[in-house]
Structure 1
Amino acid sequence: MPSPAPQPSPGSTEPTEPLTAELVVDRAAAVAPAISPDGRLVAYGVIANGGSEGRPHGSIWVAAADGSTAPRRLTDGTARDLGPRWAPDSASVFFTSDREERGTAQLQRLRVDNGQDVAKAEALTRWHGGIVDHRPLVDGRTVALLAEDEPTAEDERREAERDDARIWGRHLPVTRLRLLDLETGTVRTVDGLGDRHVVEVAPRPDGGPLAVLTWSTPELDPGARTVELHLVDPDSAAVHELGPVGTDAESPAWWNRDGVWHLAHLAVTPGHAVGGFAVLDTVPPATGPAPEHRNLTAGMPVCPIELAQVADGPPLALFADGLDTALYRLDPDSLRFHQVSSAPGTLAGLSVSRSGATLALLASTAYEPRNVHAGPACGPLVRLSDAAPELRGVRWGVQERLSYRAADGLELDGLLIRPVGGTAQDPPDGPFPLVTLVHGGPYFRHADEFVLNAVDCGQWLAHAGYAVFLANPRGGSGRGHAFAAEVAGEIGGDEWTDILTGIDLLVDRGVADPERLGISGWSHGGFMAAWAVGHSDRFKAAVMGAGISDWGMQAGIGDWGALESGLSGSTGWDGPGPHRHDRNSPISYASRMRTPVLILHGEEDTNVPLGQAILFHRALRHFGVEHELVVYPREGHGLRERAHQLDALRRVRAWFDRRLQASVRL
């Protein structure tokens, strides 16, 4: 699908640039491609670290969809300019920017004339608290905005006097749907949705009602499990309730069949708290709730990851397919998705022109970071952006695909990155020290893409002489719903033996040195690293990043409480115990642990709260296990600040260097 871009050769023997932590952290990244309705131009964002506070800034770029002209930068990158979306006439781009007040995004508009100088951006809102999201409507006069309420005089008094006692759940900022009139600048709030928290909006292509997804509360738990679908008339703001939809519902997409409008969306497969996503479809009635939503992806051995609305045809969708990604189109007659094309690695950020003939997306392969590509839906696509050209001077470890069977015969895949050295045709021989990287989720995957950031640092470790195993155990995406649902109530069970089977495969092939094994992961991968050291003495070092040590605690205080209990099998209020989640919690096996563990955690993490790391630290200290707890101030579930990303890269590699005694290969 994407045509090959100039790629750094893993087999080059010529002198190359050293891979420094600064090069990893400071490289720019292309994000959020948006193709114009007429299919001629693509706008996209570029994020890079910058500024004295060391947080990412963004700029807006535009390029011809056919690659006939070089990309132009529309904004200077000194603020956080992101989220480009086109006006219906393809002449202007709307985007959000915090240039007026750092940290507060407002809606801006730029007129884009291909080949001409760009006019100064026009500020369209001054909404106190900022704009969360925006959708230009097809009438060309209105923009749907998602924004929290502006503070009242009473709110300002409470803040000034620190009279800020909060009743839990009552003072959470609710995002509401608002309609901006571009001619007058007035903003109307859609009151008919009450106090429900608006998460997504999809305008109907003919100017009809807006499809609106809401939660009962801004809290992930229970918000993501209490999703409802509504229709909103953009003229009168009248609301038509369609009723509840699937857990974690997202990506509403309109499509027309024989003059009848359908409305599809993504959600967890109905009837399951843990499992793969599905595309669900309904025909909204004129009155009353929607009829039953039909599962359009039932039984498919792949997982839908994005659903894109096409104004003049049925929707397109991206599917995770093992280590690769495929583009599918819905057949309106059979109501089934059929593959249009496939590409190695990752495709993401799908954006489609009005006709559906041209699209834009992000693509990444083993040695090429994510860049914007565009072209016909059936391919080939042309690479438009070149966000990190400096990486072409770096030599990479050879990335290989793995395919094997679990102990119970289940088909599995994964990736191996060999240490830097040799050539692609003749990579260096082992055995090498091996670090296993386990992905988060667990509903996620390692695709055959470029692996280089502060969390998934495969090539960073390969430059230090390590072989890196990117494991895809059961519970992840890319192999259909049943594969993803395997871990429900059994977290740490067969998925753990899946990982061990892959490690044993690499030992048997002479790639991995069985005396020099390490394991690392973030989030669910951090849980698996903690689980590993309580169930095996094979690992000489481990890194637990933002990981779960106690599932009972996680169900009680983490953002995704119900999901966590679905994974672990119980909650702490299921009676006096013993609880099923105790059997599935690493903390229960702390007395067995002997492996040195590096624990990394964000101080403001609400997804996996810091208490998980503190509890694990205290247990390891109690049993005299060598470990180190590192807490990053101001950070949530990931690392955003430049200095923290640099610290994590250097600290992780040093932790493994001291214990696995890897020789440095540059």
Structure 2
Amino acid sequence: MTAAEAQVNAELLVNCAMAQPPAISPDGALVAYAVSLPGPNGGRSSQLWLSPSDGSSPPLAAAPGVPCQHPRWAPDSASLLFRSLGQLNRIRTDGTDGGVPEALTDWQAGIVDYRPLADGKTVVLLAEDEPEDEPDKADAPGRGDPIVWAEQGPGARLRLLDLGTRELRVVDGLGDRHVVEVSQRPDGGPLAVISWAHPDSDPGAFTAELHLVDPATAEVRGLGRLELEAGSPTWWRAKDSWHLAYLALTPPGPVGGRAVLDIAIPAIGPAGEHRNLTAGMTACPTELVQISDGAPLALFADGLDTAIHRLDADTGSFRHVSTSRGRLTSLTASHTAGPVAALVSTAHVPMDVHAGPARGPLLRLSDTRPELRGFSWGSQERLCYRADDGLGLDGLLILPPGRTRADGPFPLVTLVHGGPYDRWADEFNNSYFAPAQWLATAGYAVFLPNPRGGEGHGHAFAAAVAGRVGLEEWTDIVTGIDLLTAEGVADPDRLGIGGWSHGGFMAAWAVGQTDRFKGALMGAGISDWGMQAATGEQGALEAGLGGSHGWEGPGPHRHDELSPISYASRIRTPVLIVHGEDDTNVPLGQSVFFHRALRRFGVDHEFVVYPREGHGLVEPGHRIDVLHRTRDWFDRCLSDS
């Protein structure tokens, strides 16, 4: 047992403080953020913190004892709003209220989201209607409580809160449409509102529309349909008119990279065409940030790193500002985009709040996990290699602490990321679903490949898996494993593979294609693409990956060729299957189906279901169990004895 293994334990990795997305004040002076803390009985609490953006003094706790989520600043930077237990609260940053927050709402249904408006007197709220009283069961004896899907509620409505009178009025002109996001024009003009016809992502994401709402009169003006997965409406001023940019799947979808699309918003008449401002870029936009005085900022996944770009208002194209090593997310900017703040993680440093000029460098403000700095972590090496067809690929290699390539070959576990439109960045990869350093402390080398289908290499790279999951992306992974084996890093007789979500699919796919792996982990993975299209949250989008729904006519269908369940009779590799009981993204039936097939063919496997859990595990005990179970499984399967 190494010294690092003796120190690092699963409880330490799970029961930890975590920095939440920051909000920088409009004047750029202060950064507000919440820190999530482990609480009693496996729960979590949160604490609001304020820090000077230049780090000139230590952060100070605000509103002690009051749970805090999603802080946002009033336009004058004098007060801060945040959600607490589903309600909206406000606190003054000059201390004149004694640090005691003022409750602004008492809405039984809870506030889904909110945006302070430029007038400083109004806040936009997204909230469902208050629940109605239960019907008198005596009026309908024996009828029970059936759920009629066509009669589900309208979801979140757009409401305007007057901070002076506390009057709350609904914007009726949107009807029963489910409001997804809102952004006000920086000069205090209309609201850009994205809505869906239904709260569920399928069909909601396919029915996205854009509206303009006058906050004074609540008058609504429809501007038509938006592209798939439209979000982050962001205003900017061009020479001719106001424009609105937004993030969406690159048309026509439903599989591919994200793009920044843009439309001109004339004073009257229809909106202009939707232009793709990121066409041809090899980096992929992940966030758009509206700037009150100037053009928007944007984050781009750029290989293993993250870049900040700014829109050039004259050319309508993005210009590179800076690149941060690893992952940068939750970008927030001041009124002029002078100072910015974000969450940042690098190879051996977990996510914390950083701030500074957009051109860099960013200074760390929060220090949520100082205990991790005393440990020995495995080296994290960047990999660049080429697929069989010459396509450039990247990934990461983590070696056991204190070891080098010369100490190989090592037992190698390949962890495949989810999505598939996601990526491994050069960040601290040590969660229950990405336990790279956790495995490294036990003596494993860990390979984190970024095969085609992921983000960070442009639209064409991401769209290559449409109707082809498990094909070229699988050979991309195998090529990396073969390279590490040929270089003496990986022991070819002690190979394991695992992943969660799409990574779980790839693990299930792998063991049906080859016997070279001695153990596999299928976490919340897909075994049948037709069933996923039928029961998953994003059915039509999943069908784009699997190639068919199943309703096209008698099979076999394309998705049958691409489903791991179709190859279950070939499997000889021991498989650990883990899944949340209440998962609606990838329903539990996917793992049940695979478990039954493995049981039918006598394959050594273990099937673990976590009650009360969805697609991501929340309860600390379950996360700790996954970490232990994962390492124990690979210890058993990849042992050299």
For 1:9, the equivalent position in structure 2 comes to none
Structure 1 residue 165, shift from structure 2 partner: 1.3
Q: Do structure 1's residue 357 and structure 2's residue 349 form an aligned pair?
A: no
Q: For residues 530-558 of structure 1, give each alpha carbon's deviation from its aligned partner in whole angstroms, at most 9, with x where no partner exists.
A: 00000010000000000000000000110
Name the CA distance, whole Å, in 2 between partners of 1:644 and 1:593.
Answer: 28
For 1:106, the equivalent position in structure 2 comes to 87
Matched ranges for 1:149-298 at <5 A: 149-153=129-133, 163-172=144-153, 174-258=155-239, 260-298=241-279
Name the CA distance, whole Å, in 2 between partners of 1:94 and 1:117.
Answer: 14
Residue number among 475, 489, 493 corresponding to 1:515 in the alignment: 493
Contact 1:327 1:339 in 2 (8 A): yes
Taking structure 1 as the reference length, the TM-score comes to 0.93
Task: Tell me: CA distance 1:402–1:160, structure 2 relative to 1, closer, same or farther (3 Å).
Answer: farther
Contact 1:110 1:122 in 2 (8 A): yes
Name the CA distance, whole Å, in 2 between partners of 1:536 and 1:77.
Answer: 54
Matched ranges for 1:93-132 at <5 A: 93-98=80-85, 105-113=86-94, 119-132=99-112
Structure 1 residue 26, shift from structure 2 partner: 1.1
Contact 1:252 1:266 in 2 (8 A): yes
Name the CA distance, whole Å, in 2 between partners of 1:376 and 1:401.
Answer: 27
For 2:425, the equivalent position in structure 1 comes to 447
Contact 1:215 1:228 in 2 (8 A): yes
Structure 1 residue 212, shift from structure 2 partner: 0.7
Q: Give the share of equivalent positions with the same residue, in percent.
A: 63
Residue number among 542, 554, 557 corresponding to 1:576 in the alignment: 554
Structure 1 residue 17, shift from structure 2 partner: 7.0
Q: For residues 467-496 of structure 1, give each alpha carbon's deviation from its aligned partner in whole angstroms, at most 9, with x where no partner exists.
A: 000010000000000000000010100000
Q: Which amino acid aligns with 1:347?
A: L
Q: Which amino acid aligns with 2:478?
A: L
For 2:400, the equivalent position in structure 1 comes to 419
Q: Which amino acid aligns with 1:304?
A: P
How many residue pairs match? The answer is 639
Structure 1 residue 57, shift from structure 2 partner: 2.4
Q: Which deviates more, 535-544 or 158-167?
A: 158-167
Task: Tell me: CA distance 1:23–1:320, structure 2 relative to 1, closer, same or farther (3 Å).
Answer: same
Q: Indicate the SS of the match to 2:45.
A: strand
For 1:34, the equivalent position in structure 2 comes to 23
Q: For residues 593-636 of structure 1, give each alpha carbon's deviation from its aligned partner in whole angstroms, at most 9, with x where no partner exists.
A: 01111111011101000000100000000000011111111111
Point out where structure 1 has 5 or more consecutive residues left out of the alignment.
1-12, 99-104
Q: Which amino acid aligns with 2:33?
A: Y
Residue number among 22, 47, 62 corresponding to 2:36 in the alignment: 47
Q: Which deviates more, 239-248 or 14-23?
A: 14-23
Name the CA distance, whole Å, in 2 between partners of 1:77 and 1:595.
Answer: 51
Cα-Cα RMSD: 1.9
Structure 1 residue 292, shift from structure 2 partner: 1.0
Name the CA distance, whole Å, in 2 between partners of 1:77 and 1:403.
Answer: 48
Contact 2:211 2:223 in 1 (8 A): yes
Q: Which amino acid aligns with 1:60?
A: L
Q: Indicate the SS of the match to 1:380.
A: coil
Residue number among 573, 596, 599 corresponding to 2:574 in the alignment: 596
Q: Do structure 1's residue 82 and structure 2's residue 60 form an aligned pair?
A: no
Q: Which amino acid aligns with 1:175?
A: A
Q: Which deviates more, 152-161 or 507-516?
A: 152-161
Residue number among 631, 651, 663 corresponding to 2:609 in the alignment: 631
Residue number among 555, 565, 586 corresponding to 1:608 in the alignment: 586
Q: Indicate the SS of the match to 2:149.
A: coil
Q: For residues 204-227 of structure 1, give each alpha carbon's deviation from its aligned partner in whole angstroms, at most 9, with x where no partner exists.
A: 111101111111111111111211
Q: Indicate the SS of the match to 2:20.
A: strand
Name the CA distance, whole Å, in 2 between partners of 1:317 and 1:362.
Answer: 14
For 1:534, the equivalent position in structure 2 comes to 512
Q: Indicate the SS of the match to 2:397.
A: strand
Contact 2:415 2:447 in 1 (8 A): yes
Q: Indicate the SS of the match to 1:283.
A: strand
Q: Indicate the SS of the match to 2:541.
A: helix
Q: Do structure 1's residue 24 and structure 2's residue 8 form an aligned pair?
A: no
Task: Tell me: CA distance 1:292–1:641, structure 2 relative to 1, closer, same or farther (3 Å).
Answer: same
Point out where structure 2 has 5 or more consecutive residues left out of the alignment.
none
Structure 1 residue 406, shift from structure 2 partner: 0.3
For 1:387, the equivalent position in structure 2 comes to 368
Q: Which has the higher contact order (CA 8 A, sep 6+)?
A: 1
Contact 1:279 1:296 in 2 (8 A): yes
Task: Tell me: CA distance 1:550–1:15, structure 2 relative to 1, closer, same or farther (3 Å).
Answer: closer
Structure 1 residue 169, shift from structure 2 partner: 4.0
Residue number among 555, 558, 561 corresponding to 2:539 in the alignment: 561
Residue number among 372, 379, 391 corresponding to 1:398 in the alignment: 379
Structure 1 residue 48, shift from structure 2 partner: 2.6
For 2:529, the equivalent position in structure 1 comes to 551
Q: Do structure 1's residue 366 and structure 2's residue 347 form an aligned pair?
A: yes
Contact 2:5 2:441 in 1 (8 A): no
Name the CA distance, whole Å, in 2 between partners of 1:15 and 1:292.
Answer: 57
Which runs of 4 or more aligned residues in structure 1 lie more than 6 Å from their structure 2 counterparts after TM superposition?
13-17, 156-162
Q: Do structure 1's residue 72 and structure 2's residue 60 form an aligned pair?
A: yes
Q: Do structure 1's residue 314 and structure 2's residue 292 form an aligned pair?
A: no
Q: Which deviates more, 229-238 or 583-592?
A: 229-238
Residue number among 475, 480, 503 corresponding to 1:502 in the alignment: 480
Q: Indicate the SS of the match to 1:153.
A: coil
Name the CA distance, whole Å, in 2 between partners of 1:543 and 1:313.
Answer: 48
Q: Which amino acid aligns with 1:24?
A: L
Taking structure 2 as the reference length, the TM-score comes to 0.97
Structure 1 residue 284, shift from structure 2 partner: 1.5
Residue number among 327, 337, 348 corresponding to 2:329 in the alignment: 348
Q: For residues 536-595 of structure 1, give each alpha carbon's deviation from its aligned partner in whole angstroms, at most 9, with x where no partner exists.
A: 100000000000000000001100111111001111101011100000000000000011
Name the CA distance, whole Å, in 1 between partners of 2:135 and 2:580.
Answer: 29
Task: Tell me: CA distance 1:553–1:362, structure 2 relative to 1, closer, same or farther (3 Å).
Answer: same
Name the CA distance, whole Å, in 2 between partners of 1:48 and 1:597.
Answer: 34
Q: Which amino acid aligns with 2:361?
A: P
Q: Indicate the SS of the match to 1:66.
A: coil
Structure 1 residue 58, shift from structure 2 partner: 1.9
Q: Indicate the SS of the match to 2:479.
A: helix
Name the CA distance, whole Å, in 2 between partners of 1:430 and 1:556.
Answer: 46
Q: Which amino acid aligns with 2:71?
A: P
Residue number among 626, 629, 635 corresponding to 1:657 in the alignment: 635
For 1:142, the equivalent position in structure 2 comes to 122
Q: For residues 438-483 of structure 1, give each alpha carbon's deviation from its aligned partner in whole angstroms, at most 9, with x where no partner exists.
A: 0000000000000011111110101111100001000000000000
